[in-house]
Structure 1
Amino acid sequence: MAEVAIIAAVQKIGVALGGQMVKELSSLLSEELALLAELPSRISRIEIELQMMQGFLSQLDMSKLKNPAHEAWIRHVRKQAYTVEDIMDEYVSVVSQQVSGLGGYWKKIGKGPQTLVALHGIAAQLKEIEANLAHLSQMKDRWIQSTSDDRPGSISSDASESQLFYEEEELVGTEEIRRALSDLLDSSEPHLSVITVRGIGGVGKTALVNNVYQAKKLEFDFVSWVSVSQSYRFDKIIRDLIRDINKNVQNHDEMDDIALTRRMRELLSDKKFLIVLDDVWAPAEFLHLLNALRGNNRGLGSRIIITSRIDDVAQLATDDRYRLTIEPLGADPAFLLFCRKAFWKTESRECPSELEECARAIVAECEGLPLAIASMGLFLSSKEQTVPEWTQISKQLDWEWDNNPSLTRTKCVLNISYKALPRYLKNCFLYCSIFPEDYLLSRKKLTRLWIAEGLVEERGPNKTLEEVAESYLKELVGRSMLQLVKKNHFGRVKKFRMHDLVRDLAISLSRKECFHQVYTGGENVRIYHDARRLSLLSCSDTDDKSGIDLPRLRSLIAFDTKMPPSLLLSSVSSKSRYLAVLDLTGLPIETLPDSIGDLFNLRYLGLRCCSNVKSLPKSIGKLSYLQTLDLFGTGIRKLPACIVKCNKLRHLYAIQEIDTSWELFIHGLGVEAPGDVWKLKDLQTFEAVEANGELVGKLARLSQLRTLWIYKLQRTHCAKLCESLSQMNLLSYLFLFARDEHEILELDNLNIASPTLHRLVLKGRLSNGTFNSPLFNGQNNRTLQYINLSWCQLTQLEENQDLIRVLSKLPNLKELILQNVYVGEQDLQFPAGGFALLECLTLRTMPKIAQLRIEGGAMTSLKRLELDGLQGLQGSPAGIESLQSLKELHLYDVNCCEEIRRRFAGTGRTIPRIYS
């Protein structure tokens, strides 16, 4: 539908109408500029019209979308909404760039004829848009039947699953979780317990629960299956349950919610019941129902089972034992299920050997979703079972998914999850499908792309856009729309991916919404003139990119690093004036065209790993909206002075890596920054800058900094640096690197004012008083969770200065890396009760460490221990067998593997996995 386009347009209108800009504009325009003076009110009327259209579209029944009149009307609405989005970007740019102090410019407006012409053009376009929207509204009433009586269907989204899977023999690969669910129903726990079963749409939640439900229902006095879904109505569900309990109950149709709840409790007070709430979408729905189901106070062992796709709902289980998760099927059970469906006509239900290779390829496309696997199996059971026939279907699988009724129900199940997304998440979800199949997505990159595109809404003065974007991401993961792959040390989402079938759905929706296009190259694939976002996954040398004319393009992301980019880059920078995102990561480009500065709307410029790029054009200073500049891995060693004109810059990455292992002292280089870099008041990330006296003295002026990397620090810089850092209230990540291995960093007064400092990296020789500084006082500093110290050249200190003893008192430290820290022979002792939350410990390149001692009660949470380059270690670490939580032990250049094995074997406990 056109809802995606309308959402984007309304968001941009909010920017255009926000803040003081409109007040100043309205008050300062003279009467003779009537068309311009009416701009804010006209924009407001357009916003209201679009919001009403969005409400209408959100209520449309899916079956009506095949109506040609609906499709034509939606297509025209989408076109108008996208045009509004473009105009709003241009309007905001013209006003904000010309207003100096939001008033000075308008007082001299007669001196700016070009701006007047631009504003008149915008006003004329908006006047035409308003008329077109009014006409579309009239057309809707004239040609399209009203949908005011339409209501969302009440059938559970997983209903099709239970039709496909009912026989136990077809519930393959779920034996363990079925047994767990059955055991929970058999449990002697007397109190009412809540069991949750979570999984992505199509994974078989309903089918599995239904199987156990049918097997166990005779053991309960009362059972009921409630399909909650998105059409949830408390009063209807309670009335249906009351009828199920006692069909003779009368006069409850007129009861209000309170009376219904009281009646429900009375009827359940002496019953052991089992109630399944299938397809719950929000915790509030369950809590409302639970209040009515608490009538069982006699300890009869009643159970409530909830199925859901949403993590927040799964958290409502009684405790962790009652929280079950269904994962997609592995390769073998998936193939077994497919065969039982595809070859149901044969007694053996086995795949012919000549079809097995093709069959396994088709099953792999289903990504372990039982609903998709069974649908595909049944679909192929009606086809000619020959290698040519199946090979042809495999090649055009995307087309089959979209066009065969027996397969589209799989996407319909997944589409329900999309339709249930809040408005602010829909475009963010579609944006994820820009990336290639199985691409490992990064939290930082994706959230910054969302922000650059204007997809993230402000939520009050105390939350940054980055924090809001991260909450969006967590919500998409919680709704099973994205799969979590990795968390960082602090429990935040770090890496994730899109399930292939979910990605296929997103691409299909994006194609219909004209949201983005994925270009894979070739003669039969063309780039559409009105493409708004374009991801280049593959381009051949024969592809004609010179004639690309994409006037509405907002994002261009290139993934094919072999693509010759020069013609494309020059074409885009001259013709795609609304471009907000330009990501050329890894492309073999040498220079950026000077015309890059004409992209007035550019918010994100990615040149990561473009190693041949040595400098930025001076026109970069014209990018007044630029938020993210990624120069990581380029050859740029000095930032141009004009960079300070990019006064909305939030994230600057400029590290040139030399040694990714960090074994060399000089592992990377930063950039030289202009003297007035402190003018970048919005800067949150600076990775990395080379130190100088003026810079370290004025760092505190960059008051929004969260992440700071500084290279080439000298002893003479340290006093000013410590003073500046003591005034920086928002720092979370701090990385300090000395100029060389001989430079001593005097950090005795290091004290970070920020209450959110989580990550600290120090590389270089440290003064003796460093670990007496306020930063390492465990009573004051309760935020540090990650510390990496290297090349410190420490000698054995007094006991109150001993590094290990000092660090052991930091109460929330979770990961510690010590590399090449000590000089001379040393014994390291980890004190009893120390490092209570430490999960990962790495000791690397310290060949003169002779003894490691772990006292009882030390590092009780340690899961991973790495010893690398400790050639002088005399025997296994004393007390290592006391590390009860240890799961992984990595040993390199250490001659005590067998002795460690014997130590653990002597305890009778499971030996940690040892890597060597």
Structure 2
Amino acid sequence: MHDLIHDLARSISGDEYFRIKSVDSWNIAAKVRRASIWQCNEHSRIFESFHESERLRTFLLPPRYETLTKQVAHDFFLKLRCLRVLDLSHICVRDLPDSIGESKYLRYLDLSFTTIATLPESIGSLYNLQTLKLCYCKQLAELPKSTSNLINLRHLALEGCKISTPPELGKLITLQTLTIFVVGKESGCGIRELKNLTKLRGTIHISNLENVIDENECKEANLKKKEYLDKLTLEWGNNNPRGVAVDEEVLEALEPHSNLKTLKILSYGGVSFPRWMMSGNLKNLNTVSLIQCLNCQQLPPLGQLPFLKKLKINGMDGLKHIEGEFIGGSNKVIKGFPSLEELELVNMPNLEEWCGAREGDMPCLGTLKISNCPKLQRFPHLPSINNLEIGDCNERRWYWPLDFFNP
């Protein structure tokens, strides 16, 4: 906002807006509605100084208060029952009092980058809450069970958290943002909870897929109908005791909508990729990452994807040969990977050969990274490359095409 517009807005708001600039400016009007604190050395006074401001609706603290008191006073929420917006991100608050449940009008709560360890069950009483941000709250292990009562919640941001999903999250049918969903074994924590969350958009990371009982659960999740999702990450745990066939059935049932732009698959235990990756239906994909899919023996025909720009394959022990199907599929007319700009082949200890590329394939490929592929001896002529990164490979054994690089 331009300074002139900011000053005009402040002059119009009068006593309804309050901004603390220094320790000497604690004369807070009782009818203030919006408060932001920008400079204060007496941190202990921040919360108690607003006890008379019963009309306060917006309370903002900037990130500079890392050393602020670790507790919010119990009566802070009892006094300020009209709060709509509360931003306590980037401070060292460890917990919230149960009295937060009295802020019935609260619509926006940001606790991101705090040291908070638990949230009170009274959170479930905030029926008007629309946004709950808990990004990078690394000490927070779980959400309260009452989270499923937040019937008007639209955005639940959990990036950077190692957190279990509360039961019956599927009740929150207004959710648009759900960045992380951890599949649990307990009742109401299964992947079928995603069934009625038809408004999901943006990014979702579904982890602990080893806890899925069978593919029918995944079909109920109905990812194929979630047309507003742009980025999907599917992750299995490292200690997956189940058979290869079960993982293949699960991934087959997790087919996303064709609008998807970014797909990442982590620690998948199957030998082959699902049919929906073979068909070329996901034509809007621009980024694909296949990480630690150790058992996979063949790559899907990703070369058919017209808008794919970035492809990363890391940790595929079962792959020995990259063949023509990967680049062009069965289509001999359309060139493979027409938009691909960056390609990484990393940690492929048994990869011996990459062949099958035709003249004109990968016309936009500028960056190729090959690392820890000790058995790789041959790969195709790729004249568009201007950035080649090679590491932990036995390059002396390689067959180099005579005109591999641009003249």
Superposed pair shares fold, TM > 0.5: yes
Which amino acid in the other structure matches residue 624 of structure 1? Y
Q: Does structure 2 retain, via aligned residues, the 8 Å contact 1:670–1:711?
A: no
Q: Alpha carbons of 1:563 and 1:517: their partners in 2 closer, same or farther (altered >3 Å)?
A: farther
The structure 2 residue matched to 1:631, chosen from 125, 134, 151, is 134
Q: Does structure 1 retain, via aligned residues, the 8 Å contact 2:351–2:376?
A: yes
**Alignment pair present for 1:708 and 2:204:** yes
**Partner SS for 2:118:** coil
**In structure 2, distance between residues paired with 1:904 and 1:509:** 65
Q: Alpha carbons of 1:568 and 1:726: their partners in 2 closer, same or farther (altered >3 Å)?
A: closer
Name 1:812's counterpart in structure 2.
Answer: 307
Q: Alpha carbons of 1:852 and 1:574: their partners in 2 closer, same or farther (altered >3 Å)?
A: farther
**Count of residue pairs brought into register by the alignment:** 380
**Alignment pair present for 1:846 and 2:344:** no
**Alignment pair present for 1:681 and 2:181:** no
Name 1:579's counterpart in structure 2.
Answer: 83
Q: Alpha carbons of 1:837 and 1:730: their partners in 2 closer, same or farther (altered >3 Å)?
A: same
Which amino acid in the other structure matches residue 739 of structure 1? G
The structure 1 residue matched to 2:253, chosen from 750, 774, 777, is 750
Q: Alpha carbons of 1:617 and 1:816: their partners in 2 closer, same or farther (altered >3 Å)?
A: same
**In structure 2, distance between residues paired with 1:869 and 1:579:** 55
- Per the TM alignment, residue 617 of structure 1 is displaced from its structure 2 partner at its CA by 0.7
Q: Per-residue CA shift, 1:602-648, capped at 9, x if unaligned?
A: 1121222223x222111101111111222233233332221111101
**Partner SS for 1:760:** strand
- Per the TM alignment, residue 792 of structure 1 is displaced from its structure 2 partner at its CA by 0.8
Which amino acid in the other structure matches residue 689 of structure 1? F
Q: Alpha carbons of 1:716 and 1:538: their partners in 2 closer, same or farther (altered >3 Å)?
A: same
**Partner SS for 2:77:** helix
**Alignment pair present for 1:641 and 2:145:** yes
- Per the TM alignment, residue 690 of structure 1 is displaced from its structure 2 partner at its CA by 2.3
**In structure 1, distance between residues paired with 2:78 and 2:217:** 43
**Alignment pair present for 1:730 and 2:222:** no
**Partner SS for 1:770:** coil
**Partner SS for 2:100:** helix
Alignment RMSD: 3.6
Which amino acid in the other structure matches residue 761 of structure 1? K
Q: Per-residue CA shift, 1:868-909, capped at 9, x if unaligned?
A: 44455448x5423x12xx565555545769x9999889633x
**Alignment pair present for 1:690 and 2:182:** yes
Name 1:595's counterpart in structure 2.
Answer: 99
**Partner SS for 1:717:** coil
**In structure 2, distance between residues paired with 1:572 and 1:861:** 58
Name 1:837's counterpart in structure 2.
Answer: 339
- Per the TM alignment, residue 737 of structure 1 is displaced from its structure 2 partner at its CA by 1.2
Q: Does structure 1 retain, via aligned residues, the 8 Å contact 2:260–2:285?
A: yes
Q: Alpha carbons of 1:855 and 1:582: their partners in 2 closer, same or farther (altered >3 Å)?
A: farther
1:134-283 aligned within 5 A: none
**In structure 1, distance between residues paired with 2:76 and 2:402:** 65
- Per the TM alignment, residue 739 of structure 1 is displaced from its structure 2 partner at its CA by 2.5
**In structure 1, distance between residues paired with 2:366 and 2:5:** 38
Which amino acid in the other structure matches residue 598 of structure 1? E
Q: Alpha carbons of 1:870 and 1:769: their partners in 2 closer, same or farther (altered >3 Å)?
A: closer
**In structure 2, distance between residues paired with 1:641 and 1:542:** 33
- Per the TM alignment, residue 691 of structure 1 is displaced from its structure 2 partner at its CA by 1.3
Provide the TM-score with structure 2 as the length reference: 0.78
Name 1:786's counterpart in structure 2.
Answer: 287
Q: Per-residue CA shift, 1:188-220, capped at 9, x if unaligned?
A: xxxxxxxxxxxxxxxxxxxxxxxxxxxxxxxxx
**Alignment pair present for 1:523 and 2:16:** no
Gaps of 5+ in 1: 1-429, 431-501, 658-668, 797-801, 909-916
**In structure 2, distance between residues paired with 1:702 and 1:622:** 21
**Alignment pair present for 1:777 and 2:274:** no
Q: Does structure 2 retain, via aligned residues, the 8 Å contact 1:777–1:810?
A: no
1:375-414 aligned within 5 A: none
- Per the TM alignment, residue 850 of structure 1 is displaced from its structure 2 partner at its CA by 4.0
Q: Per-residue CA shift, 1:69-92, capped at 9, x if unaligned?
A: xxxxxxxxxxxxxxxxxxxxxxxx
- Per the TM alignment, residue 752 of structure 1 is displaced from its structure 2 partner at its CA by 3.4
**Partner SS for 2:235:** strand
**Partner SS for 1:749:** helix
Q: Does structure 2 retain, via aligned residues, the 8 Å contact 1:670–1:710?
A: no
Q: Alpha carbons of 1:585 and 1:569: their partners in 2 closer, same or farther (altered >3 Å)?
A: farther
**In structure 2, distance between residues paired with 1:708 and 1:609:** 20
Q: Per-residue CA shift, 1:832-854, capped at 9, x if unaligned?
A: 62111223323333344344455
- Per the TM alignment, residue 670 of structure 1 is displaced from its structure 2 partner at its CA by 3.6
Q: Does structure 1 retain, via aligned residues, the 8 Å contact 2:23–2:40?
A: no
Gaps of 5+ in 2: 329-334
Q: Does structure 2 retain, via aligned residues, the 8 Å contact 1:834–1:859?
A: yes
Which amino acid in the other structure matches residue 23 of structure 2? E
The structure 2 residue matched to 1:511, chosen from 10, 15, 18, is 10
Q: Per-residue CA shift, 1:554-599, capped at 9, x if unaligned?
A: 2424312423145666565333333222222232111111111111
**In structure 1, distance between residues paired with 2:405 and 2:256:** 48
**Partner SS for 2:204:** strand
Larger Rg: 1 or 2?
A: 1
Name 1:174's counterpart in structure 2.
Answer: none
Q: Alpha carbons of 1:842 and 1:704: their partners in 2 closer, same or farther (altered >3 Å)?
A: same
Name 1:552's counterpart in structure 2.
Answer: 56
1:253-652 aligned within 5 A: 430=1, 502=2, 504-514=3-13, 519-520=20-21, 522-526=22-26, 528-529=28-29, 531-541=32-42, 544-549=45-50, 550=53, 551-566=55-70, 570=74, 572-611=76-115, 613-634=116-137, 635-652=139-156
**Partner SS for 2:195:** helix
**Alignment pair present for 1:671 and 2:174:** no
Which amino acid in the other structure matches residue 760 of structure 1? L
| Residue identity (%) | 25
**Partner SS for 2:45:** coil
**Alignment pair present for 1:739 and 2:237:** yes
Between structures 1 and 2, the one with greater helix share: 1
**In structure 2, distance between residues paired with 1:569 and 1:728:** 46
**Alignment pair present for 1:768 and 2:261:** no
**In structure 2, distance between residues paired with 1:588 and 1:614:** 11
Which amino acid in the other structure matches residue 220 of structure 2? S
Q: Per-residue CA shift, 1:108-161, capped at 9, x if unaligned?
A: xxxxxxxxxxxxxxxxxxxxxxxxxxxxxxxxxxxxxxxxxxxxxxxxxxxxxx
Q: Does structure 1 retain, via aligned residues, the 8 Å contact 2:34–2:59?
A: yes
- Per the TM alignment, residue 825 of structure 1 is displaced from its structure 2 partner at its CA by 4.5
Q: Does structure 2 retain, via aligned residues, the 8 Å contact 1:738–1:764?
A: yes
Name 1:907's counterpart in structure 2.
Answer: 406
Which amino acid in the other structure matches residue 93 of structure 2? I
- Per the TM alignment, residue 513 of structure 1 is displaced from its structure 2 partner at its CA by 3.7
Q: Per-residue CA shift, 1:727-769, capped at 9, x if unaligned?
A: 6522513222113254542246336363422222221234234
Which amino acid in the other structure matches residue 270 of structure 2? S
**Partner SS for 2:294:** coil
Q: Alpha carbons of 1:505 and 1:891: their partners in 2 closer, same or farther (altered >3 Å)?
A: farther
